[in-house]
Amino acid sequence: MEELQKALNDGRSLTVSTLPDKGRCLFTSRHFSPGEVIISQEPYVAVPNKNSNDSSSRCEWCLSTRNLKKCSACQVVWYCGSTCQKTDWKLHRLECQVLSKVEKGRIKSLTPSIRLMVKLYLRRKLQVEQLACNAHTICDAELRPLATGLYPVISLINHSCLPNSVLVFEGRLAVVRAVEHIPKGTEVLISYIETAASTMTRQKALKEQYFFTCTCPRCIKAGQYDDIKESAILEGYCCKDNSCSGFLLRDPENRGFVCQECGLLREKEEIKDIEWEVKYLIEKASMCSSGNKIDASLTYKAIEKQQLELCHPFSINLMRTRETLLKIYMELQNWKEALAYCRFVIPIYERVYPRLHPLVGLQYYTCGKLEWFLGETNEAIQSLTKAVDVLRITHGTSTSFMKELLIKLEEARAEASYSLSCKDDQ
């Protein structure tokens, strides 16, 4: 493949090897330091995510949401200006002819997946080359999904639940950066799935979505004591004694679950009652979360209360509930509550994700912005500094997102310095 050969020749830092149990893999042919770009690639084809509201549409080429105008011929594809339209015209010229023939009533049925397959067929028709690769969700700097794209070279990178690299996007450009020191001759690995989960849950997701069984350093520990303990913490129950931080395992006599630290038994009936109540509240929340946000917040607070009685403090379910409450309070512009839940989530993130994970950095960034807005400047400096420590590795330092973060940190420091000098003058 021409793009693969070009990527391998650029800098001569990668090689392709074929392993019996994995197929083709990317290996380093030199050392990489944390934050260093290993490989980047524009998509072979890409399609913006579909939105029911035209005001939320995106430019077909750069994914911008500003100054959008529809293609006058097909009335389906949007562009932010003539530059993007001209850049995309070679391929869109063919797709435009196809889209123009679709009945207006059926346009809404054109999902991103269908359009992606059409564009893939048309591009292959133009270039007459074979292609087989995974689709990637193109996200913005804060990991919000924007589009779907095919990246043939990036797709050679295999999965690990303990990856040495991270995939982020700069517009349409896919960028893989090292998150640890990677010696020469090491396989480049990213994560395909959400890794904040037990081994059983991760394996199930990989089997269902990608049809393979992971044998990474985390997964090969399945069934060992440390893995059983980790699963019980992430997806199990807490001890009845609030002062005990132990994890629970099933009682051999099937009476319930026993704390492995203090030996207390939680009976099955008690656990079932709380689980039933949580399930009822989650169903109730699903009916009100899209409408009245205040009602949704009250329902999720009730879910949180029940989960605090049931789940371990580092439970994934509890973490997800608090993430939802953070989002709701942000939408309600209740900044104090939003900050409280942002702070609740950070310790769990630091427990379930590697230190240099984008979500850890982004959570500190959110925390820092809220603290600064609420006048907690010194706390904001600490949070923004921690955000920079992570995100400069995962996102680099040259993007507009990172430049904005660095500016915020400098402004917060300047404000703190000014406040301190004023106190000294008094």
Rounded distance between C-alpha atoms, residue 31 and residue 100, angstroms: 50
Q: How large is the average pLDDT for residues 69-86? A: 92
Does residue 53 surpass a pLDDT of 60? Answer: no
Q: What is the DSSP string of 73-137?
A: TTSS-EESSHHHHHHHHHHHHHHHHHHTTS-GGGGGG--HHHHHHHHHHHHHHHH-------EEE
Q: With DSSP H G I counted as helix, E B as strand and the rest as coil, what are the percentages for the chain, rounded to 5?
A: 50, 15, 35
Position 2 scores a pLDDT of 56
Highest mean pLDDT among 18-27, 103-112, 398-407: 398-407
Position 379 scores a pLDDT of 96
Does residue 131 surpass a pLDDT of 60? Answer: no
Query: 306: phi > 0 → left, psi -120 to 50 → alpha, else beta; which?
Result: alpha
Does residue 126 surpass a pLDDT of 90? Answer: no
Question: Are 1-43+151-192 and 353-425 equal in CATH topology?
Answer: no
Q: How large is the average pLDDT for residues 133-143? A: 89
Position 3 scores a pLDDT of 58
Rounded distance between C-alpha atoms, residue 337 and residue 326, angstroms: 8
List Cα–Cα distances, 224 to 227, 229, 230, in angstroms: 5, 9, 10
Q: How large is the average pLDDT for residues 335-340? A: 97
Find out whether 194 and 200 touch, Cβ atoms under 8 Å: no
Q: How large is the average pLDDT for residues 68-91? A: 92
Give the amino acid at 237. Answer: Y
Mean pLDDT of the chain: 90
Position 132 scores a pLDDT of 61
The per-residue pLDDT for range 162-205, each reduced to its tens digit, is: 999 999 999 999 999 999 999 999 999 999 999 999 999 999 99
The per-residue pLDDT for range 260-289, each reduced to its tens digit, is: 999 999 999 999 999 999 999 998 888 775
Q: Which of 203, 236, 235 minimizes the C-alpha distance to 222?
A: 203
Question: For residue 129, what pLDDT band results from cuts at 50, 70 and 90?
Answer: low
Q: How large is the average pLDDT for residues 371-395? A: 96
Position 265 scores a pLDDT of 94
Q: Which residues pair with 45 in a beta bridge?
A: 150
Does residue 127 surpass a pLDDT of 90? Answer: no
Q: How large is the average pLDDT for residues 113-133? A: 78
State the burial class of residue 375 (Cβ atoms within 10 Å of its Cβ: 0-12, 13-18, 19+): exposed
Question: For residue 54, what pLDDT band results from cuts at 50, 70 and 90?
Answer: very low
Rounded distance between C-alpha atoms, residue 347 and residue 209, angstroms: 29
Question: In terms of pLDDT, which residue wins out, 120 or 318?
Answer: 318
Q: Which CATH number fits domain 353-425: 3.50.50.60, 1.25.40.10, 3.40.190.290, 2.60.40.10?
A: 1.25.40.10
Position 426 scores a pLDDT of 61
Position 55 scores a pLDDT of 47
The yes or no reply on domain 1-43+151-192 and CATH 3.10.310.30 is: no
> And the tokens for 354?
């590697």
Q: What b-and-e string marks burial along 2-37, b requiring 16 or more CB atoms within 10 Å of the CB?
A: eebeebbeeeebbeeeeeeeeeebbebeeebebbbe
Position 6 scores a pLDDT of 64
Position 257 scores a pLDDT of 94
Q: Where are the domains of the chain?
A: 1-43+151-192, 49-138, 353-425
Position 19 scores a pLDDT of 85
Rounded distance between C-alpha atoms, residue 315 and residue 248, angstroms: 12
Q: How large is the average pLDDT for residues 148-152? A: 91
